[in-house]
Structure 1
């Protein structure tokens, strides 16, 4: 339980169904936000209030060390190397469905408030396509999924969940949805937050011809495809590439410049949720390189120890370090970390 409406309603539904329910709150981060407020303490208080209302026990477990080692330090290393990591995927793989589930008795079910479904150990998209979170669970192994329940998977909208929370008299019904990096929370200026941990100097921002158009504040603070906020002439400059060895940010004019579109990627550290389905040839799949992206048709093939995902239509703003995830219909097969990308419109 996170202290939010999703996990709170999940606990309530399980109790209504006759299960003996116990809430577990993970303490993974122990510093205050910009207001000087320890959000972890606030969330733990919300969990306790909900559990008191539902008349179920709850406990707090501490994974601060594990989160720092397995998730946050890797996230910092990736940003420093010019990558675009996904700490939420890593948190689910190593913390929630790793360190935490290992503490759950083997004869007990594990449940979370994710918007997804399971069937015979398969991970399926949630009914609410806008909230479907199977992307974030694409590295969770089959043995963990076989003992996991997702009570919100059949709900068709977040509004239904909030309305149910109000009907149940849960005070978290009106609580704002948590955003930002997993367990660190939303930061007013994420680049400034990263700058507390990554020592990287400013450097030149250039166009595709190498002409200097301004200065960046540190490559870690920029994401491929996003506005660079570097002013130079009448154009809106978007980030196309990060040249880490030369500490240079490469930008293009306009948000739909051809250099922002890619046709394929290779992925490392690939995880098949069901090892028995591991691909040897080629397969037509639905693929996403970010959460809430519309699924795109692609050809998945194995290339040595990596997998290639070749999209049938160009995809905007792929970045090294992102997680590419593939589905067969609603069935999430797995995914990997993008290692290389291929431009859809190569320069002449």
Structure 2
């Protein structure tokens, strides 16, 4: 049964939604008015981004992370839901949700996979060297009531240094992989009067031969969705795997998930316009039990006026 829990933080949705929604490869006009909250019971505005380079603002040129927020401000609707990967810890999530609440319409809260992740073994707090890394789901607390959460670790081969053996949970090491700890939460949508379950995932990189276990990782993500239930299910994040790896994308389709970006481009293997990290499409927004999409797209740096993270965000309006 649902347990109505503490709200965490407010104000993230409006800022991030606007940026992500409009960025969707030019689907929304660049001349749109300033963001407003989505009051429709028929759909949700959903964004996903690996934000490893967003905070602190002292990193890079001090402007990288707020380029996306500034872009969102100009979009028609702020995000209802924003899944993020490689946020440092609870303190950084608090900073982010407060900033979004201050900058965008709406009030935001978040749930994180691990409040204080283990050290990655780095000395720098900037960019790829972010010393602590976890994953979180940010949502509009003025629309949703938080109900429950489930957490689990991603899989890599048993011998992850050689890429051999069965797929097993990747446990922390001296260079901790707490960034592969996933979180899914169930929210009650007080406008639509429906429950939605949302997962923020981060699967192991090629360093740990993670793509070999992509099929197991989508299976476990779907099992997490099953534990939470809900009228609508969303799995989003950094898969560190392309659609062809271990045939995981076809498995996701068999489980009932749809890929708004693939449906936009006409194939699971999209053109380079939808690559999210270098020449690879490894960041996904997957939807189960939905009734289609609008305004799906990949948010290019040309839309934001420059780089805002190593990864490009993906976004879509998701229909109930």
TM-score with structure 2 setting the length: 0.27
Q: Which has the larger radius of gyration?
A: 1
TM-score with structure 1 setting the length: 0.26
Name the structure, 1 or 2, with higher relative contact order (CA <8 Å, separation 6+).
2
